[in-house]
Amino acid sequence: MGGQTPNNIALPLHRQNVKILGTSPEMIDTAENRFKFSRMLDGIHVDQPTWKELTSFEDAKTFCNKVSYPVLVRPSYVLSGAAMNTVYSEPDLEAYLAQAVEVSRDHPVVITKYIENAKEIEMDAVAKDGVMVGHFISEHVENAGVHSGDATLILPPQDLDPTTIKRIEEATRLIGKALNITGPYNIQFIAKDNDIKVIECNVRASRSTPFVSKVMGVDLIEMATKAIMGVPFMPYPPTELPAGCVGVKVPQFSFSRLSGADPVLGVEMASTGEVACFGRDKYEAYIKALISTGFKLPKQNILLSIGSYKDKKEMLPSVVKLQKMGYKLFATAGTADFLQEHDVPVQYLEILGKGEDDQKSEYSLTQHLANNMIDLYINLPSSNRYRRPANYMSKGYQTRRMAVDYQTPLVTNVKNAKILIEAIARHYDMEVSGFDAQTSHRTVVLPGLINIASFVPGITTPGSRDFQTVTKASIASGFSMIRVMPLGLDGAVTDARALKVAQVNSKLGSSCDYNFSVAATSSNADQISQVTGEVGSLFIPFNHLSDNISKVAAVTAHFESWPSFKPIITDAKMTDLASILLLASLHSRKIHITNVTTKDDIGLIDLAKQKGLQVTCDVSVYALFFSQDDYPEASFLPTAKDQAALWEHMNIIDVFSIGSLPYQLATLAKAEADAAVGIADTLPLLFSAVADGRLTVDDIKARLHDNPKEIFEIHDQVGASVEIEIDRPHTVKPGAVWSPLVGKVTRGAVQRVIFQDKTACLDGLPTQDAIDGKDMSSHLIDLHTTVPQSPLVKANLGSPAMGPRPDSSHGLRKFSSFAGASSSAMRPATRSRFLDGAANQAPQFGSIAEDLGAPLYPQPTISPSLQTLLGQSPFKNQHVLSVNQFSRQDLHLLFSVAQEMRLGVQREGVLSILKGRLLCTMFYEPSTRTSASFDAAMQRLGGRTVAIATSHSSTVKGESLADTIRTLGCYGDAIVLRHPEESSASTAAKFSPVPIINGGNGSKEHPTQAFLDLFTIREELGTVGGLTITFTGDLRYGRTVHSLVKLLQHYDVHIQLVSPQALSLPQEILALIKSKPGQLLSVSTELTPEILARSDVLYCTRVQKERFADLEEYERLKDSFIIDNKTLRNAKSSMIVMHPLPRNAEIGEEVDFDQRAAYFRQMRYGLYCRMALLALVLAP
């Protein structure tokens, strides 16, 4: 995850037996090597731009004419954007190849078809054992051809066709599977007209991974790390980006610090940093991000210089928009003519050379730039030139450079210019909103909360500031609406005079909306009719601090006189509660019971609800968390049993309230009781219960917003929301207001409160934008209101967490992540479903699954692609006797199957392709590798083997080869044969009823060794074409050399032969090499430094003692060539040393530790190759 360096060192470390976690280094190499990757894409039918590696200008010209210009040209060793150029014509190609790179066999170039006007798309994904477990798609603003580090990224994509998205997801799935990826990977696509092509795949975290993780709220690095380590994790976790929110990343450049650098975006990376911002759409996010880089928006004058006619046409609507917005437009010659022809008023500015000093400054472009008279310079250079040498300076370059040097904002890309102009035209207010920041701790956004029982001690005391204190504390704690209880500490709102005092007090300052209630007394039933229109409800007190009703009989008059469309509230308990419920039933009135604290009362309310009474109730939050066990003298608190009963009957409780319990408890604790006591404790107490699993976020929202709003017909609080950080532990410290939570750890800190679309409070402190609340007492009640049903408490952690989003456009940053998601999703540790070590169980998907498609599951042992390849086999039930049977197309098929076998072994170990099949092996000569690898290959394919030892067979009794083969054909489905006679393979084939596979026939051929040798070269170096292969040692009797040379005739390679004269290559094989012009580079009896320096492959062979009739001749020749570290000093660092083994002294043991030593890896390749061959011959 540290850029490209880890990928570069992964394979060398792997070859030194270092354990590499995650994706196999060999698969990383497959993605990094353009030849291997290209073959892999072809094999899984994923498209890619046409490309070719070329070694001469004529070849390059021919290829470019074939695919048509423009093309991308780069030196072959370059994988990313460095030294890359876009070429638009043959003269450009010739000039670039002449100046930038010297094209030759030693310095090839790679030319790729460049697709104009295509959109570049970024895919960041995580896989486990080749199965995608998370992915996100970002789109580039700029057309393809701009380095991804310099590109502007949009997430989620805004302009991609669903068909394009599905094709990208499918291609990503196939690539992840083909590379058997475990961990992160990034793929860059280009798309045009719904056709997608893969540019490159990086098996690592990309530069866009942090951007994607932060925007979507899903830590891809954490997921990837857990996948790599085999730790359980959740695939496709829910995202935290709300609907209608977009993230945009823009690059940060430092051209002003790079003297002379041309500030034009291209395939080489030029940016030095990145900034990302959120917005309600891509334009808002883009302009915020751009401003964050230091870009200054234009105030008046804008200069336009647009090169190509295509760009002029594309920019015209945007330029017209600028003119209509009142900007003064300036333009260079061609641009000015074009705009004036289209009736766009523009002032022409001219670029003159240094010698023309008489130019009028009012028409001088350079003067305008130098005098900072231009607020924005849009310079879109023509894309028909290759990057010129440093000594050439065009006028366009000079003006761009001036803009940078004089700090004039500069835009050089047409897509960036268009999105910038549209963003300016939308006139965003740039106010900080709830989704402008992302934090590592989870945040939930709730609609503005409602406190239905707000206690104001000095409610009827003239000049009291308690109302101001309570509303200020309420808004800071997330309550944008309070219902003020009519009873204070020393008085109550019982008539018009007292109500007037309360109203006057409210004018001293109200930070949130509120409404008043009136209290019933034994004698004011007639008087309160005068204030009915100025209060929201009637409160009948029985157990408050003052002005309680002593007789239930006195209540009857209030039931008769109070308007039926306004609610009645009471705090009656025990027998008083029963009487009130009876009266409410007799009068068919709705009744709300506040501050329920006992088991008997909550049970009675439960019974009343079951009988169909229109009754609702609330419980003070303090009553749920503090009991008489905590404060023995607090008789107003519930007992521990009562408190347990309240939790058991949570489904009966409609509303959470605050009430006067906190004030009473503060008084009991002999603290200075502040009017705001208890308000700030409410959400921390409730969200601590969420963390403990006793409540869900949905429970809190229902009881502090949804139900109060319906029960009391509260007005719609448009533009009100509260943002709460729900999982960061916080130790409560002593403050100005007494709290029983001091020293305790809680959760649920209120970060931001939005009120009337303005940020009213930030981290508990009021902002300058804070707006006064309104008296909503006269808000009319709907006559047809129905009593809401209380939601059931979800004691388990898998309950739905929240309902619909609030209407406010502010503060929505993470709200949607809780819609339909579980509250358990707040912390990874509490998630209920995990990926346990392997991505093989049905993942639990949140809302992202609906957006990103169906879950992905492991495929069966035999993949569809392998089944397809095996179905094409031309060798089914055929003998494999000689390499002459194989065409290049056959080899391609064989190697494609071998790649599939490699993946299958890595994933499954043993496949079931040849289950039920039996292979007989018969070796008349000693063998370790060939015999063991065929045995292992058959068993890896699910088949069985019978190995016949010739020393214990009927051969010693004189049985002929023909009879032996006929016998084995009765037992097995195929026979692998090695025999010292050169004619043995053809003889066996003549008499065998089953396929014969030649494991070596004397010194003539060894086809399966040649297959694995060729496969090794292909896998180690990426391609066979264009290589120089040097054969050393015993070329006369080396059957592996003979077979490999024949196979190499299918490829454009150079061959060097180094051997003693007596062991030189047989004439018929040498003639085969010479028949292909230019293939034979040299024939030598010495391995010179020059020969070694040219070599890409050094193929060593053992001088075979068993082939010599004269042992003295063997002793003379056996140590002719010895490869050691001293020899390899002259070799390329990328060269590989191969040997069919066994070896004697021809390769020193010290070479084994050189990563160029491929002969032990060669054996592993042999397993896959022989598995492929057996499957192609025997698969049903």
Residue pair 377/402 in contact by the 8 Å Cβ criterion: no
Is 1006 annotated as catalytic? Answer: yes
Nearest by Cα to 446 from 201, 198, 184, 720: 720
Q: Which of 1006, 1042, 1094, 1139 is catalytic?
A: 1006
CA 741 to chain centre: 41
Q: How far is CA 839 from CA 213, 231, 855, 856, 1127, in A?
A: 21, 11, 11, 9, 48
Phi/psi zone of residue 433: left (φ > 0), alpha (ψ -120 to 50 degrees), beta?
Answer: beta
* Cis geometry, peptide bond prior to residue 75 (ω within 30 degrees of 0): no
Is 532 annotated as catalytic? Answer: no
Residue with tokens 């029963």: 578
Q: How far is CA 642 from CA 604, 609, 638, 674, 1153, in A?
A: 13, 19, 5, 28, 77
Nearest by Cα to 840 from 858, 855, 863: 858
Residue with tokens 């596979």: 997
Check the CA dihedral 590-593-599-602 and report its sign. Answer: positive
Is 752 annotated as catalytic? Answer: no
In the sheet that holds 944-949, the strands lie side by side as: 944-949, 918-923, 974-979, 996-1001
Residue pair 212/155 in contact by the 8 Å Cβ criterion: yes
Q: Which of 299, 427, 957, 1129 is catalytic?
A: 957
Is 929 annotated as catalytic? Answer: yes
- Length of the chain, in residues: 1180
Question: Which ranges of 186-281 would DSSP assign to H, the alpha helix?
Answer: 209-216, 220-229
Residue pair 779/716 in contact by the 8 Å Cβ criterion: no
Beta bridge partner(s), residue 1030? 1056, 1098
Q: Which of 978, 979, 1042, 1054 is catalytic?
A: 978
Please give the DSSP secondary-structure letter assigned to residue 1052. Answer: -
Q: Which of 469, 696, 930, 1040 is catalytic?
A: 930
In whole angstroms, what is the distance from residue 453 CA to residue 619 CA? 10
Please give the DSSP secondary-structure letter assigned to residue 298. Answer: P
In whole angstroms, what is the distance from residue 76 CA to residue 64 CA? 16
Question: Which ranges of 972-1054 would DSSP assign to H, the alpha helix?
Answer: 984-991, 1007-1021, 1039-1048
The two three-digit tokens of residue 1124, written as one number: 């050691």
Q: Which of 395, 441, 929, 1132 is catalytic?
A: 929
Beta bridge partner(s), residue 445? 723
- Residues 6+ positions from 908 with CB-CB distance below 8 Å: 861
Backbone angles phi, psi at 46, to 5 degrees: -110, 130
CB burial of residue 808 (10 Å; 0-12, 13-18, 19+): buried
- Residue type, position 706, single letter: D
Residue pair 942/914 in contact by the 8 Å Cβ criterion: yes
In whole angstroms, what is the distance from residue 1066 CA to residue 1059 CA? 12
- Residue type, position 910, single letter: V
Backbone angles phi, psi at 944, to 5 degrees: -130, 160
How many Cβ atoms from other residues are within 10 Å of residue 741's Cβ? 18
Is 1105 annotated as catalytic? Answer: no
Beta bridge partner(s), residue 517? 537
- Residues 6+ positions from 177 with CB-CB distance below 8 Å: 44, 130, 131, 859, 863
CB burial of residue 353 (10 Å; 0-12, 13-18, 19+): exposed
Q: Which residues are catalytic?
A: 929-930, 957, 978, 1006
